[in-house]
Amino acid sequence: MAEVTANGVRFHVQRLGTARDDNHTVVMMHGMVMDNLSSFYYTLANPVALDHEVILYDQRGHGRSERPPTGYTVADSVADLRALLAELGVDRPVVLVGNSYGGTIGMAYAMAHPDEVRGVLLIEAHIAVEGWGDHMAGSLALAAFGLDDDQVREWLSDQGGRKVNRLARNAEALIYKTSMLDDLAAVPVMTEAQLGALEVPVLALYGEQSDILDVARTVERCVPNCRLQVMADTTHSLLLERTAEVREALDGLLAALPTDASPAGKPTSDAPPDNPGGA
């Protein structure tokens, strides 16, 4: 499957594995601007699809999906995902795996539609806590400034290669030709009370050298059913730097969550997922 129209936007979608009563449907959501579904396709998706159904999609404006001029708030992303799952005929709760901004979507979706989510895996996730919108918009604005630099353009032309140049062009179009910066700056924060009301199981993976580790501590403190796992000697690029450990953590989470075949919706394991990467 390549293209699905949902919420008025054409999405590039990849669906791997098979849905069964004794397994999970796992939805993997990539990061923002310089990312697309390939970051999961070449790391977690295919191994996980040996035992579960896996759904990957390029978010609006990213990869091979359509790039409309507006609609880049977190609420828009949640609406996109819900409409996409409906178009795909997914009729059971899903496990959400979100890297960076994908984790923002995962948390927002779980808070808005908790009955549709079995569990959430956050990988270096940006969470819309106080100051998040300004931080994200500011970071993207700095990226836009860099992309507009003549020396950067010359280096990309000479050294970047086709893939890097394509990512840079897509990033430039997202920043300059859509409402993304304004949309992100206007996103309402997730309050501690809202985070505290979330009962969905959350496993949060962050690098020891992450620049958003304070956000992870907030999530751990506020979300009742959250476990934080900090991986030593690792940065924001956790998915690529520690792929094997991330897959092991995801496997543990999936094994602990109930499936359609679980008696009375009970967890399939009483033990928490292993902690391979640190405390």
At residue 145, the pLDDT reads 41
Query: What is 10-36 written as a DSSP string?
Result: EEEEEEES---TTS-EEEEE--SSS--
| Cα atoms in the 13 Å half-sphere on the side-chain side of 262 | 16
Say which residues have a Cβ less than 8 Å from residue 193's Cβ, sequence separation at least 6. Answer: none
Residue pair 41/29 in contact (Cβ under 8 Å)? The answer is: no
**Considering the domain boundaries, does residue 159 fall inside one?**
no
> Mind listing the pLDDT tens digit for each residue in 188-214?
889 999 999 999 999 999 999 998 898
User: What's the whole-model pTM score?
Assistant: 0.87
| Range in 2-6, 13-17, 46-50, 185-189 with the lowest mean pLDDT | 185-189
86 band by pLDDT with thresholds 50, 70 and 90:
very high
**Considering the domain boundaries, does residue 181 fall inside one?**
no
| Range in 52-56, 123-127, 267-271 with the lowest mean pLDDT | 267-271
| Helices 101-112 and 74-87, axial angle in degrees (round to 10) | 70
3-state secondary structure (DSSP) of residue 131: coil
> Mind listing the pLDDT tens digit for each residue in 148-187?
444 333 433 443 445 444 656 777 888 889 998 888 888 8
At residue 14, the pLDDT reads 97
Query: What is 74-87 written as a DSSP string?
Result: HHHHHHHHHHHHHH
Beta-carbon count within 10 A of 43 CB: 19
**CATH at residue 237:** 3.40.50.1820
**Considering the domain boundaries, does residue 221 fall inside one?**
yes
Q: Which residues pair with 120 in a beta bridge?
A: 96, 202
> Mind listing the pLDDT tens digit for each residue in 30-57?
998 878 999 999 999 999 999 999 999 9
Using CA atoms of 246, 248, 253, 257 in order, give the dihedral in degrees to the nearest 10. 140
**Considering the domain boundaries, does residue 140 fall inside one?**
no
Q: How many domains in the chain?
A: 1
**Considering the domain boundaries, does residue 50 fall inside one?**
yes
**Considering the domain boundaries, does residue 137 fall inside one?**
no
Which residue type occupies 133? G
Q: Which residues pair with 231 in a beta bridge?
A: 207
At residue 150, the pLDDT reads 43
What mean pLDDT do residues 72-77 have? 95
At residue 267, the pLDDT reads 61
**Considering the domain boundaries, does residue 201 fall inside one?**
yes
What mean pLDDT do residues 126-133 have? 74
Asked whether residue 134 carries a pLDDT value surpassing 80, the answer given is: no
At residue 161, the pLDDT reads 47
141 band by pLDDT with thresholds 50, 70 and 90:
low
Beta-carbon count within 10 A of 157 CB: 10
Beta-carbon count within 10 A of 163 CB: 9
Indicate the length of the chain as a whole number. Answer: 279
And the tokens for 209? 């050298």
| CA–CA distance, 3 with 16 (Å, rounded to integer) | 14
Tell me which residue range forms the domain holding 115.
Answer: 3-130+188-262
Q: Which residue has the higher pLDDT, 159 or 220?
A: 220
